[in-house]
Structure 1
Amino acid sequence: MTTRSTHAQRTTNLATFLTQTATRLPDRPAIIRGETTWTWSQFNGRVNALASAMREQGVRAGSKVLLHSANCMDSLTVLYATWRLGAIIVPTNHKLLPDDVVPLAQLVAPDLVILDDSCEAHARALADYEIWSIGDEQDATVEFGSARVPQLIDKYSSRGESVVDEPVFVNSPAWYFFTSGTSGRPKAAVLNHDQMAFVVTNHICDLMPHLTDRDATLVLAPLSHGAGVHALTHVARGAAIVLTTSETLDPTEAWELINRHAVSTMFTVPTILNKLVQAAPPGHNPDECSLRYVVYAGAPMSSRDQRTALDTLGKILVQYYGLCEVTGNITVLPPQLHGTTPEPDGIPTAGYVRTGMTISIQDDDGRELEPGQRGEICVCGPAVFAGYLDNPTANAKAFRDGWFRTGDLGYVDQTGLLYITGRASDMFISGGSNIDPREVEEKLLKHPDVVAAGVVGAPDATWGEVGYALCVPRPESSLTIDELLTWCRANMVRYKVPKRIEFATALPTSGYGKVTTALLKEEFLNRGSWPTEV
């Protein structure tokens, strides 16, 4: 006898989180920016109105809506209106240039493109698509697009139409999430409604277990990626979402908003977290601050930066590890474990596996390795995405025997803590020895006058590859490159000592706040110091 149903199985539409919150907490604050506050009822009403306008435009279940905009109050309106209709949201990083966005649009073939009011050049490049504009200035004059989102919302709000959350089913796509790679064919990870409902639940369970409608979060990163996923958890709980008025990070404004709105949670990346720590108000007392969960992810954070953040902010740091393909849902390092776990080779742990997920460390042939043995970090569980859109080659490479292959290298210790040593694609071989750049970076950060370091493998006629290091010295330091090289020779295994070190005022970062191999190589190329390819 079989128990498998032949009928499609319904699942929760992500828009239903908003529907439920607006019903339960209609008058509680939902979205705040500057002097404007929308309640959950008002926010839900705007979603209804925009969904009506989009439906009249022809957006239906399965349609794609591409959103290219800086954070604004109606950014989340677009997301939830899209989902309310059963359509698929396709957010892009607002920092991308027109030539960067065109191939993304070609990949997903959007039925509607919504662009920031400032993106006239993007509109010209995307002229083949139906275009609307979006922004917080109510009466802005925009020279492109057939309509503006704020005016559409005003127009359709007067009709008072109610749009019911469209039925969705297991494996119904909700979000095409572009990976943060910097070269090659664009890849869109397909995130489904049921997968994302698990992610939202798990983020609350493992990252912010006491989140309530009395909390508030401050958005410091683009809602197109991790910050957007973080915001979904607050919609589910009815916690207020506070937007900065600045499009770029202003640490002074961030601290002012934290104090004004009693902000209790934030999602950020290490580069932004470090700037916030450095800008903490004089006499900042963690015991008197509203912050309870400062969640960071996206890149490793050095042990020294962790200690500085703990000293400044207190035991409120939450780290998670997870690629966009697993939507930030592989491991968690909760506040109580920060600063208390072993750090072999100076590398802090990424924490333990998330609830409902499974990690396997595997060798090149897919054999599972014992604790302490380094290999590729592979993962399975409900947070793993459905695959890349229209890219069977990438899917075949990403999955093996049902496991998603992260491309990251690491090991699990005897207690279940994961240590990430680097990416397989970043590793280089010098004189026959494998070198993880992160191991060298952590060693460089042991020097008291080095505040940041990035290491990349460069071609070398003798050794095959050698390490090139870009270091940021402490501003008031008198450290020289020769002194740092001498220190490296005294404190590192010989083959790991960088062949070349250069100083910079800051490391190059991507639009996602990451220091990548490609950016480091580009920096050395721009300086004229990258060797001729061997």
Structure 2
Amino acid sequence: MNSADAATPAVRAVNVAEMLSQSARRLPGSTAVVHGSTRWSWRELDERASRVSAALRRADVRRGDCVLLHGRNHPDYIAALYGIWRAGAAVAPTNFRLTPDDVAVIAGVCRPIAAIATAGSDEHVEAVRAVTGLKAGVWWTESDDEHGSVSELPSAGPGEDMNERVEVGDHAWYFFTSGTSGTPKAAILTHDQLGFVTTNHAADLMPGLGQQDVSLAVAPLSHGAGVHLLPQIARGAPTVLPVSPGLRGEEVWELVERECVTNMFTVPTILKTLAEHPAVYEHDHSTLKHVIYAGAPMLNTDRDHALETLGPVLVQYYGLGEVTGNITVLPPTEHGRAQPDDVEVGTCGRPRTGMQIAILDPDGREIGSGEVGEICVAGPAVCAGYLNNAEATAAAFDGGWFHTGDLGTVDDNGYLYITGRASDMYISGGSNVHPRDIEEKLISHPAVAEVAVLGMPHPKWGEIGVAVWVPAAGARATDAELLEWLTPRLARYKMPKQFIAWAGLTKSGYGKVVKRTIRDELLASGWSAPED
């Protein structure tokens, strides 16, 4: 029989949770997670993940279902993450800083049938329940007087600790991003894709990663730091979680010294804050080998100060959630690489192993080195498209390449330089901020007739939001009043740092607000960034 006539067989993939199972078998008594006085071994972490998996299975959560995970960095969070995968479900992590309304919108896209949330997040859970019903139930991390922790769930019974069979293409992680409209989109990350990314992170970002290493998580595990967690679990390297709810330089550098930390994932604002904190000089950080930063451009002066303070340990990578952060790498040995004379920014590195970059012109044709076009990428790290959004998927993969929406150029040696973004989205403190969401909330204020929110350069945050607005006829509003209006409606990290009232917004001949022109006018008028 011709092979083309045969039915395509189901091809088995490796469940992401299998990496935890393997480390637990190989290193049962070794430390896996550190959080304050809590120290879980690999056996203990694996057993707690099985408790979560068993609870989900008993609630009839099945392979392919979605479970929303909303919480702070905590050992329970890691157990919940791997327990969800062990049960065969796809996880939808949400940033702990989001408002209940934000999380409800995300739930409307991925339709979770269950949720696991940090105790005290009742408003978020109820907002999700109002959208999807959460028929399989709700569980909690970090127990309090009202909620029990997932760590206190009954032990798994016979067979309940097994990793659910998954196949190539099965959904594992819904990584939420947004388009130019600000509407949330769920990039589909699959089990087989995450297997490739785990291997690639270990090889390209942290060569030699193993059980002798120690990782410190200083960013939310719901996003890039969660991807960084995967190779630590796979290689048996313990993860240290600070106990403070926010970033505290003193705590970070004390933990680096005490736990002999060798790697950590940061964003430029975190790296800048840590490198400039006085405690960096008070604690031994000589064990550090790889301090990884990604998520936004970093000013050369800040990068150079970090290099001077920490030594040759910086690793930069460029990537998007849709490509699991897996596009380029700039290792420590290449941080002094010279840039071309006609390029104002330094390189973000060379293509990651197994990945390919193309620079395309507006007609989709690949252009040569030194020319600026859209950065496009192909390879096993690219997502499987957007959940229930065929239109966005088709646009993103137009011509077969994944279109990043970023603009850049490559030199003759294949190193990439990012020169701008095709969309209005800006990056503040390592977080993607989409102006449309802010504009829609501001325009609902009775005193605001028109508004344009744009990202402007800032020495600390990389970029900040500046809201240029036009008062309605006969109306007035102070900055404090606008902030008060936005506070219950907007996550704190999305909040504009400045409000500037104008008589009118510059528009094109088609009546469209031209943000590029507004930005130029702000700079020409002598605009300067606020100190904080």
TM-score range relative to shorter protein = 0.7 to 0.9
- How far apart in 2 are the matches of 1:107 and 1:461? 33
Instruction: Name 1:67's counterpart in structure 2.
Output: 69
- 1:224-303 paired onto structure 2 within 5 Å: 224-281=222-279, 283=281, 289-303=286-300
Instruction: Name 2:146's counterpart in structure 1.
Output: 142
Does 2:134 correspond to 1:129?
yes
- C-alpha change, 1:453 and 1:60, in structure 2 (3 Å) is closer
Three-state SS of the structure 2 residue aligned to 1:75 is: helix
Instruction: Name 2:412's counterpart in structure 1.
Output: 414
- 1:379-394 paired onto structure 2 within 5 Å: 379-394=377-392
Q: CA deviation at 1:182?
A: 8.6
Does the Cα contact within 8 Å between 1:467 and 1:500 map onto a contact in 2?
no
Match of 2:50 among 48, 51, 56: 48
Instruction: Name 2:487's counterpart in structure 1.
Output: none
Q: CA deviation at 1:502?
A: 3.1
Three-state SS of the structure 2 residue aligned to 1:311 is: helix
Does the Cα contact within 8 Å between 2:49 and 2:79 map onto a contact in 1?
yes
Three-state SS of the structure 2 residue aligned to 1:224 is: coil
- C-alpha change, 1:123 and 1:414, in structure 2 (3 Å) is same
Match of 2:530 among 494, 504, 507: 504
- How far apart in 2 are the matches of 1:427 and 1:72? 30
Match of 1:326 among 318, 323, 327: 323
Does the Cα contact within 8 Å between 2:253 and 2:280 map onto a contact in 1?
no
Instruction: Name 2:101's counterpart in structure 1.
Output: 99
- 1:339-358 paired onto structure 2 within 5 Å: 339-342=336-339, 344=341, 345-358=343-356
Match of 1:221 among 219, 222, 225: 219
- How far apart in 2 are the matches of 1:177 and 1:462? 35
Does 2:303 correspond to 1:306?
yes
Name the aligned partner's letter for residue 75 of structure 2: M
- C-alpha change, 1:467 and 1:271, in structure 2 (3 Å) is farther
Match of 2:35 among 30, 33, 36: 33
Instruction: Name 1:519's counterpart in structure 2.
Output: none
Three-state SS of the structure 1 residue aligned to 2:75 is: coil
- How far apart in 1 are the matches of 2:232 and 2:64? 26
- How far apart in 1 are the matches of 2:60 and 2:119? 22
Deviation string, structure 1 residues 216-273 (Cα, Å, up to 9, x no partner): 1111111111000100110000000100101211111011111110010000100111
Worse-superposed segment, 77-86 or 452-461: 452-461
Three-state SS of the structure 2 residue aligned to 1:420 is: strand
Q: CA deviation at 1:148?
A: 4.2
Does 2:183 correspond to 1:173?
no
Q: CA deviation at 1:503?
A: 3.4
- C-alpha change, 1:467 and 1:318, in structure 2 (3 Å) is farther
Worse-superposed segment, 321-330 or 174-183: 174-183
Instruction: Name 2:12's counterpart in structure 1.
Output: 10
TM-score of the two chains, using structure 1 as the length reference: 0.80
- How far apart in 1 are the matches of 2:128 and 2:279? 44
Name the aligned partner's letter for residue 146 of structure 2: V
Q: CA deviation at 1:84?
A: 1.1
Does the Cα contact within 8 Å between 1:380 and 1:403 map onto a contact in 2?
yes
Match of 1:80 among 79, 82, 101: 82
Does the Cα contact within 8 Å between 1:33 and 1:245 map onto a contact in 2?
yes
Match of 2:376 among 365, 375, 378: 378
- C-alpha change, 1:455 and 1:97, in structure 2 (3 Å) is closer
Q: CA deviation at 1:283?
A: 3.9
- C-alpha change, 1:451 and 1:242, in structure 2 (3 Å) is closer
Match of 1:316 among 304, 313, 323: 313
Q: CA deviation at 1:156?
A: 2.2
Q: CA deviation at 1:184?
A: 3.2
- C-alpha change, 1:54 and 1:424, in structure 2 (3 Å) is same
- Percentage of matched positions with identical amino acids: 45
Deviation string, structure 1 residues 394-438 (Cα, Å, up to 9, x no partner): 11211112100000000001111100011012499xxxxxxxx99
Q: CA deviation at 1:111?
A: 1.4
Q: CA deviation at 1:465?
A: 5.7
Match of 2:26 among 24, 29, 37: 24
- How far apart in 1 are the matches of 2:257 and 2:518? 43
Match of 1:118 among 120, 137, 156: 120
- How far apart in 1 are the matches of 2:106 and 2:99? 11
- C-alpha change, 1:284 and 1:370, in structure 2 (3 Å) is farther
Instruction: Name 2:438's counterpart in structure 1.
Output: none
- C-alpha change, 1:240 and 1:22, in structure 2 (3 Å) is same
Does the Cα contact within 8 Å between 2:315 and 2:331 map onto a contact in 1?
yes
- C-alpha change, 1:183 and 1:466, in structure 2 (3 Å) is closer
- How far apart in 1 are the matches of 2:266 and 2:281? 23
- How far apart in 2 are the matches of 1:500 and 1:427? 23
Name the aligned partner's letter for residue 506 of structure 2: D
Worse-superposed segment, 199-208 or 109-118: 109-118
- C-alpha change, 1:30 and 1:453, in structure 2 (3 Å) is closer
- How far apart in 1 are the matches of 2:82 and 2:524? 49
Q: CA deviation at 1:168?
A: 0.9
- C-alpha change, 1:221 and 1:77, in structure 2 (3 Å) is same
Does the Cα contact within 8 Å between 2:254 and 2:283 map onto a contact in 1?
no
Q: How many residues align?
A: 458
- C-alpha change, 1:53 and 1:406, in structure 2 (3 Å) is same
Deviation string, structure 1 residues 154-189 (Cα, Å, up to 9, x no partner): x225x5765211111111111111115695321000
Q: CA deviation at 1:150?
A: 2.8
- C-alpha change, 1:38 and 1:95, in structure 2 (3 Å) is same
Q: CA deviation at 1:466?
A: 5.5
Does the Cα contact within 8 Å between 1:86 and 1:167 map onto a contact in 2?
yes
- C-alpha change, 1:120 and 1:182, in structure 2 (3 Å) is farther
- How far apart in 1 are the matches of 2:423 and 2:141? 39
Does the Cα contact within 8 Å between 1:53 and 1:156 map onto a contact in 2?
no
- C-alpha change, 1:424 and 1:461, in structure 2 (3 Å) is closer
Does the Cα contact within 8 Å between 1:48 and 1:162 map onto a contact in 2?
yes
Q: CA deviation at 1:63?
A: 1.3
